Structure 1
Amino acid sequence: MRRSATPDVVVVGAGMIGAACAEALSAAGVRVLVIDRDGPAGGTTAAGEGNVLVSDKAPGPELQLAVASRAEWDVVRDRLPEPVADIEWESKGGVVVATGDPEPLTAFAAEQRTAGVVARVITPAEAFELEPLLTPRVTVGVHYPDDAQVQPVLAATALLAAVRARGGEVRSGVTALGIRQSGGRVVGVDTSAGDIACGAVLNACGPWAGAFGAAAGTPIEVLPRRGMILVTAPLPECVRHKVYDADYVGAVGSGDADLQTSTVVESTRGGTVLIGSSRERIGFDDTIRVRVLRELARKAIGLFPFLGDVPVLRAYGGFRPYAPDHLPVIGDDPRVAGLWHATGHEGAGIGLAPATGRLITEQFLGLAPHVDPAPFRVDRAAVIAV
Structure 2
Amino acid sequence: MPDVVVVGAGMVGAACAEALAAAGVDVLVIDRGSPAAGTTAAGEGNVLVSDKEPGPELDLAIASRSEWPVVLDRLPANVADVEWEAKGGLVVATTDPEPLGKFAAAQREAGVDAQPITPADAFELEPLLTRRVTTGAYYPEDAQLQPVLATTALLAAVRSRGGEVRAGVTALSVRRSAGGRVIGLETDAGQIPCGAVLNACGPWAGSFGAAAGGPIEVLPRRGMILVTAPLPECVRHKVYDADYVGAVGSGDADLQTSTVVESTRGGTVLIGSSRERIGFDDTIRVRVLRELARKAAGLFPFLADVPVMRAYGGFRPYAPDHLPVIGPDPRVPGLWHATGHEGAGIGLAASTGRLITELFVGLEPHVAPEPFRVDRPAVISTVVAS
| TM over 0.5, shorter chain | yes
Specify the SS of the correspondent of 2:78.
helix
Give the aligned partner of residue 56 of structure 2.
61
Report the counterpart of residue 144 of structure 2 in structure 1.
149
Shift of 1:217: 1.6
- Verify: 1:295 aligned to 2:291, yes or no: yes
* Aligned equivalent of 2:88, options 78, 93, 101: 93
Deviations 1:47-98 (A, max 9, x none): 0000000000000000000000000001000001112151000000000000
Could you tell me which amino acid in structure 2 is paired with residue 324 of structure 1? P
Task: For residue 224 of structure 1, give the secondary structure of its aligned residue in structure 2.
Answer: strand
Of the three residues 243, 246, 252, the one matched with 2:242 is 246
Q: SS of the residue aligned with 1:270?
A: coil
> For residues 1-386 of structure 1, what are the structure 2 equivalents within 5 Å?
6-182=1-177, 183-384=179-380, 385-386=383-384
Ranges of 4+ aligned residues in structure 1 off by more than 2 Å: none
Residue-pair matches, total: 381
The runs of 5 or more residues in structure 2 that have no matched partner are: none
AA aligned to 1:200 is: A
For residue 218 of structure 1, report the CA deviation from its aligned partner.
Answer: 1.3
Query: Greater CA deviation, 23-32 or 80-89?
Result: 80-89
The alignment's TM-score, normalised by the length of structure 1, stands at 0.98
CA deviation vs aligned residue, 1:134-180 (integer Å, no higher than 9, x gap): 00000001000000000000000100000000000000000000000
Residue 3 of structure 1 corresponds to: none
Q: CA RMSD in A?
A: 0.4
Deviations 1:172-208 (A, max 9, x none): 0000000000011100000011000000000000000
**2:172 aligned partner, one-letter code:** L
1:25 CA drift (Å): 0.0
Amino acid paired to 2:29: V
Q: Is the 8 A contact 1:68 1:355 kept in 2?
A: yes
| Cα deviations by residue, 1:83-127 (Å, 9 ceiling, x for unpaired) | 215100000000000000000000000000001000001000000
Q: Take 2:167 and 2:118, find their aligned partners in 1: how far apart are those partners?
A: 50
SS in 2 for 1:316: strand
Normalised by the length of structure 2, the TM-score is 0.98
Whole-angstrom distance in 1 between the partners of 2:37 and 2:331? 30
SS in 2 for 1:248: helix
CA–CA distance in 2 between the matches of 1:85 and 1:308?
34
SS for the counterpart of 1:212 is helix
Distance in structure 1 (CA, Å) of the matches to 2:80 and 2:315: 27
In structure 1, stretches of 5+ residues that fail to align are 1-5
Q: Secondary structure of the residue that 2:248 maps to in structure 1?
A: helix
Distance in 2 (alpha carbons) for counterparts of 1:124 and 1:114: 23
Q: Would you say the 8 A contact 1:226–1:278 is kept in 2?
A: yes
SS of 1:83's equivalent in the other structure is: coil
Aligned residue for 2:379, secondary structure, equals coil
For residues 232 and 20 of structure 1, the distance between their equivalents in structure 2, rounded to whole angstroms, comes to 30
| Contact 1:243–1:264 (CA under 8 A) maintained in structure 2 | yes
> Contact 1:77/1:85 (CA < 8 Å) preserved in 2?
no
Quick one: percent identity of the two aligned structures? 84
Deviations 1:192-248 (A, max 9, x none): 110000000000000000000111121100000000000000000000000000000
Contact 1:189/1:196 (8 A) holds in 2:
yes
Q: Hey, what's the Cα distance between the residues in 2 that align with 1:318 and 1:84?
A: 26
Matched AA of 2:128: L
* CA distance in structure 2 between the partners assigned to 1:126 and 1:218 by the alignment: 51
